Amino acid sequence: MDTTTAERIVAGLSKVALVVRHAQWAASGERGLTPTQSQILAIIAAAPGPQGMGVKAVAGHMAVTMGTASEAVAALVDKGLLRKEADEADGRAVVLRLTAMGKREAARAPERPGAIVEAAEAMPEGERAVLLRGLVGMVRTMQERGMVPAARMCVECRFFRPNEHPGKGKPHHCLFIGAPIGDADLRLDCAEMEPAEAPARARLWEVFINGEPLDQHGPGHARPGVRASKSRRAESPSLKGASK
Ligand code: SF4
């Protein structure tokens, strides 16, 4: 039976997912945790600020039901890895914080299966960049359809300037670090990401896939009498041309 390219992509991704699941179960099993419990520890450890996270936020990050998240959280509390505390901002709400043991356990959690990292590293750099670009597009579509939680991606970040350096090996620009970035550098979970406004996000994506810069005044376009700053984070990083 003939299959479409999309179906063959799904078949390939399923094989990758199989290895990921296997590695997660193996790593978590050694530590007496389920993959869901390991993920919860990692999510709470990576949460910005000391205020902890509610169960609803944890469930949203993992794209699981409240019931699944609550069950895993209860098990982590029983194991002494998490504690529930009253939310300082809303006394009726409960937030989750890692205990000292939970912090140690979260630090041990493998972020990604080594076998997949090795397979990706074995690819020629150009192919890796194309694959990453394609994955960014897939994740963005699934995110728009509410299938996965919002990812902290370059293509939705107010610091991202696609195609600012046309024809260069690193054609895009990150205003946060003040440097060019290439497709192989695109981030799917960047701690510094700050979401652009909704209309600007659509414009960012449009110029990213069309291979055009956002406007003619970005850091890749020298203007007479204006020296490019090293990092523009301190300047207003509003998206010029975003409302076009
Ligand atoms: S801050 Fe992070 S997400 Fe934003 S453009 Fe730079 S690398 Fe990408």
| Residue 155 CA to ligand 1 centre (angstroms) | 8
Q: Mean of the pLDDT values across residues 78-96? A: 85
Give the Cα separation of 168 and 124 in Å (integer). 18
% of the chain beyond a pLDDT of 90: 47
| pLDDT value at 227 more than 60 | no
Residue 110: which pLDDT band, with cuts at 50, 70 and 90?
Answer: low
Residue 161 CA, ligand 1 centroid: distance in Å: 9
Q: Which atom of ligand 1 is nearest to the CA of 152?
A: 3
Mapped onto helix, strand or coil, the DSSP state of residue 202 is helix
- Measured in Å, residue 1 CA sits from the centre of ligand 1 at 43
Which atom of ligand 1 has the smallest separation from the CA of 194?
4
Which of the residue ranges 27-31, 101-105, 155-159, 203-207 would you say has the lowest mean pLDDT? 27-31
Task: Report CA(189)–ligand 1 centroid distance (Å).
Answer: 9
Architecture of domain 5-108: Orthogonal Bundle (1.10)
Q: Which of 140, 153, 177 to mutate to test the pocket of ligand 1 (most atoms within 8 A of CB)?
A: 177
CA 96/CA 214 separation, integer angstroms: 41
pLDDT for residue 149: 82
At 157, the pLDDT band (50, 70, 90 cuts) reads: very high
- Give tens-digit pLDDT for 22-78: 888 887 777 788 888 988 998 888 877 777 788 988 888 888 889 999 999 999 999
Extract long-range pairs of 52-55: CB within 8 Å, 24+ residues apart.
52/85, 52/87, 52/95, 52/96, 52/97, 53/95, 53/96, 54/87, 54/93, 54/94, 54/95, 54/96, 55/94, 55/96
Ligand 1 atom nearest to 161, measured from its CA = 5
Q: Which of 130, 151, 179 is CA-nearest to residue 60?
A: 151
- Smallest Cα–Cα separation from 108: which of 30, 205, 212? 30
Closest CA to 196 of 162, 147, 154: 154
Q: Note the pTM of the prediction, 2 decimals.
A: 0.73
Report pLDDT for 109: 63
Tell me, using a 6 A CB cutoff, whether residue 188 lines ligand 1.
no
208 ligand 1 Cβ < 6 A: no
Residue nearest to atom 8 of ligand 1 (CA): 154
What integer best gives the mean pLDDT of the chain? 84
CA of 25 to the centre of ligand 1 (A): 31
Beta-carbon contacts of residue 8 (< 8 Å; ≥ 6 apart): none
Between 81 and 88, name the one with better pLDDT. Answer: 81
Tokens of 101: 């043991």
User: Considering only CA atoms, which residue is closest to atom 4 of ligand 1?
Assistant: 193
Q: What pLDDT was estimated at residue 47?
A: 79
For residue 147, the model assigns a pLDDT of 86
- Listed by start position, the domains of the chain span 5-108, 124-244
Site to substitute for ligand 1 among 161, 172, 193, 233, most atoms within 8 A of C-beta: 193
Task: Tell me the pLDDT tens digit for each residue of 163-203.
Answer: 999 889 999 999 999 999 999 999 998 989 999 998 889 99
Per DSSP, 177 falls in state T
The closest-lying atom of ligand 1 relative to the alpha carbon of residue 158 is 4
